[in-house]
Structure 1
Amino acid sequence: MSFFRQVYEFLKSASIAHAKWDYEVSTSILKNRKKMLWIILAILPILVVAMAEAGGILGGKTAYAPAFYSTKIFVVSIAIGLAAGLITGCIGAGGGFIITPALMAAGVKGILAVGTDLFHIFAKAIMGTTVHKKLGNVSVKLAVAFLVGSTGGAVIGGLINKGLYDYDPLLSEAFISLIYAALLGFLGFYSLADFLKSRKVADTGDAHGAPAEVPAVTIKVQSMNIPPMITFDEDYVPGGRKISGVIVAAGGVIVGIMAAIMGVGGGFITFPMFVYIFGVSSMTTVGTDILQIIFTAGFAAVTQYAIYGYVFYTLAMGMLLGSLIGIQVGAMTTKVVKGIHIRGFYAISILAGFINRVSTLPKKLTELEIINVPKGLSTGIEVSGNVIFWLVVGFFAFWIFSKFFGNMKKFKEGV
């Protein structure tokens, strides 16, 4: 298996694992009336304060909250959360990747989109933690070592984003867009190639195919005797397994940097890192992963963004509301659609995010005087990318809802 193929399988597994966590957490929140009441109570005062504000720019040079707010942007935040939830629930992956690009496409500055998405993930993790009490064990030693690294990584990522933004907001926008364009482009084109290949074979109903085989790197990693050594999985392997705390912390640094720069919370990459590189059992990973999501996302959201005014709380709550509904509708729809269609939409939705972000680069890089593209052409490219993105997201949402409402009878019958 080629290096790039291994990277793709790793990232795809990460996206699937994060989507599964997102669905479980959303289900836990919806089943608890007290949690839903807290969401409503959290939104109301913020909504009143924000509506009373006049002037300002959403994520301007100084984005200290409360920023400019309107009912329109709140509705948009719900729609973005709904779309991300539909993608996560139906496809089983990828929904979390479009939130920051979608916020930026809606006019939110990149640094504010990242901070708001992190806070949204943190809030969801806090409210949905009870589901993980029965899903897995928690290795405190692994969690502590990992969090030492992830908090340090979050500081590094936050400093990079804030440093670029303070130097030039345009540079910050271009940087975030470039990071997302690279990630989504890599995932999208590989997914599209997989989809085209899968059309030639019988549809098994599996949306993502067989999981990637465990890399040999796991054995090498666990054989590195760099103190302090951490013992884990004692309940599953006689005597347990061992791994260097330094290596675990180094993995945490990578996750923390990605979380703080992209606003993805880090959870999407922690699961495959623990299972396929560190060699931790799935049961231990599930319990430990939720701890790192809470602390990494919370630390990054509060210390790197919120205290500088780069979190728009009402948008975060709007996205949370939308995603809670969307993810349930999407998950139910998978019962009545073919797996091959789901694989196709996964590739298309990821590529739509890629097109949206890459289409903004000509204009931004021209304004930064890095390249020289005529203003009319660069603006046209940006507008076209925006239109394509929203058309794809809108069509996907329409398709899911049509399938959902068209099969209500089957759902009631327990299909």
Structure 2
Amino acid sequence: MKNLYTSLMYAARAHAQWEIETSRNIIKNRKKLLILFIMALPLLIPAMAHAASTLPSFVGGKAAFGPSFFSPTTFYGSIAVGVIAGLITGCIGAGGGFVITPALMSLGVKGILAVGTDMFHIFAKAIMGTTLHKKMGNVHIGLAVAFLVGSGLGVTGGGMINRALYNFNPVMSDFVISSIYVVLLGFLGIFALSEYLGMKKRSQKDSGDAHGGPEKMTALGAKLQSINLAPMIKFDQHVVPGGRKISGFFVAICGCVTGFLASILGVGGGFVTFPMFVYGLGISTGTTVGTDILQIIFTAGYGSIAQYAIYGYVFYTLAMGMLLGSLFGIQIGAITTKVVPGTQIKAFYALAILAGFVNRLFALPEKLTQMGYLTLSTSAAALITKIGVWLFFGLVSIFAFWIISTFIRNIPRLRAEAAEDYDVNMGKGGVSQ
């Protein structure tokens, strides 16, 4: 279990690094900023409609984008959710995306819309920032093609199940999505907390570094690579002389599982790609990271558009609000890591994940009551849900306030370090000339 958690965290950190670089590419490019401004123009309409607390039906309204209660709280809340997720991603280097869907559901957005909107937000960030990544030099075309074939099938299946559940019973749809998040966030939160306590006990502030990763092939990886099932794909020639071989059928199965979970949960899917590739198939970490970044772009794009947007399950205004908020949060978070001890970052990460776990756990009694499986008064069930919402937003708000205030207090120090680095780089440039 510990190895699985380590693998999940390594995958999350690789995804976080991609998000950080993507956001920087957007912010540093004037043309991309102009495109972003044009994409964000619809946000002006809900801002102007704030006083009336309503929106025209053609922009973010219930009739146009699906059955979700919309209010100024959900719109401005989406920006706050983007900021918080960005702060977690930038400061901790992992896990920001895990809190987005639970946070949107806490704002009153139906689970299926939260999933579709989160996937669309990931896709928008990917196409805005970059369509390729410098680490994609490690991508093997054969592995990528086989994986994406399976991913397409998985995304389609996940989208069909989510829509079928919602059409059958909207409450059951929310219950299923919340239950999956309870299991996922509970697992991650418990291990993150235990890692922080162990880290504090050992006083190893750098133990959470995202360098390295498991490279030794597991027994399962060796077994699967020994099975000659066409088509065979050769890879990792840069790791092992002569390379390794794996059946494309196994790669497609991994893609199918990743696409299915990504479509069900509204995340990129990298948290399962990494353990399956490294521990299951015996593929090197470098090749895995590159393939993961590639699959996120296609999985999020196909899933958000073909499985959710065309059926009315994407809140465009909320997706753009999250995108804008995350660009700000990621930059602040990444810069703040220079002045924040690693143990404190670990502690807040564990709290943020556990806050999402408690939030979805406390939402389950109300869903069970509404479906008739639990006997609670309407007011009691609603109160339990509200307590979960208050706990979640209270904890993540404390985290956000702490990060932003730490950043503001250390602006003089950060400026001095930036000026020093600039002088050093200029000096090196002068010498080289």
* TM-score normalised by L of structure 1: 0.92
Amino acid at match of 1:39: L
Q: Which of 35, 40, 54 is the equivalent residue of 1:38?
A: 35
Deviations 1:201-239 (A, max 9, x none): 123333358866454322223222211101123344332
Alignment of 1:117-156 (within 5 A): 117-129=118-130, 132-133=133-134, 136-156=137-157
Structure 1 distance, partners of 2:210, 2:23, is 25
Q: Show the counterpart of 1:193.
A: 194
2:228 counterpart of 1:225: yes
2:94 counterpart of 1:97: no
Q: Show the counterpart of 2:327.
A: 324
The 8 Å contact of residues 60 and 316 in structure 2, kept in 1 or not, is answered as no
2:252 counterpart of 1:249: yes
- State the shift of 1:267 in Å: 2.8
Q: Show the counterpart of 1:168.
A: 169
Q: Show the counterpart of 1:15.
A: 12
- State the shift of 1:34 in Å: 1.3
Pick which of 404-413 and 373-382 moved more.
373-382
- State the shift of 1:133 in Å: 3.7
Q: Show the counterpart of 2:406.
A: 403
Structure 2 distance, partners of 1:375, 1:58, is 29
Structure 1 distance, partners of 2:397, 2:108, is 17
Alignment of 1:37-76 (within 5 A): 37-45=34-42, 47-48=44-45, 53-54=55-56, 64=65, 70-76=71-77
- State the shift of 1:83 in Å: 0.3
Amino acid at match of 2:224: V
2:184 counterpart of 1:183: yes
Structure 1 distance, partners of 2:98, 2:191, is 16
Alignment of 1:297-312 (within 5 A): 297-312=300-315
Structure 2 distance, partners of 1:248, 1:394, is 40
- State the shift of 1:330 in Å: 0.5
- State the shift of 1:162 in Å: 0.6
- State the shift of 1:261 in Å: 0.3
Amino acid at match of 1:179: I
- Structure 2 counterpart SS, 1:391: helix
The 8 Å contact of residues 8 and 274 in structure 2, kept in 1 or not, is answered as no
Deviations 1:137-184 (A, max 9, x none): 331111110011111001111111111100010000111110101100
Deviations 1:276-324 (A, max 9, x none): 4333333333333232111111111111101100001111111111111
Pick which of 285-294 and 27-36 moved more.
285-294
- State the shift of 1:401 in Å: 0.7
Pick which of 141-150 and 371-380 moved more.
371-380
Q: 1:281 to 1:308 in 2, by over 3 A?
A: same
Q: Show the counterpart of 2:206.
A: 205
Aligned length: 411
Identity, in percent, stands at: 55
Q: Show the counterpart of 2:375.
A: 372
Q: 1:205 to 1:296 in 2, by over 3 A?
A: same
The 8 Å contact of residues 122 and 265 in structure 1, kept in 2 or not, is answered as no
Alignment of 1:289-304 (within 5 A): 289-304=292-307
- State the shift of 1:72 in Å: 4.0
Over the aligned positions, Cα root-mean-square deviation in angstroms equals 2.5
Pick which of 379-388 and 124-133 moved more.
124-133
Q: 1:314 to 1:57 in 2, by over 3 A?
A: closer
Q: Show the counterpart of 2:268.
A: 265
Q: Show the counterpart of 2:278.
A: 275
Structure 2 distance, partners of 1:410, 1:303, is 48
Larger Cα Rg: Structure 1 or Structure 2? 2
The 8 Å contact of residues 5 and 188 in structure 2, kept in 1 or not, is answered as yes
2:86 counterpart of 1:78: no
Q: Show the counterpart of 1:336.
A: 339
- Structure 1 counterpart SS, 2:193: helix
- State the shift of 1:35 in Å: 1.3
For structure 1, the residue ranges without an aligned partner over 5 or more in a row are none
For structure 2, the residue ranges without an aligned partner over 5 or more in a row are 419-433
Structure 2 distance, partners of 1:360, 1:66, is 19
- Structure 1 counterpart SS, 2:137: coil
- Structure 1 counterpart SS, 2:154: helix
2:6 counterpart of 1:6: no
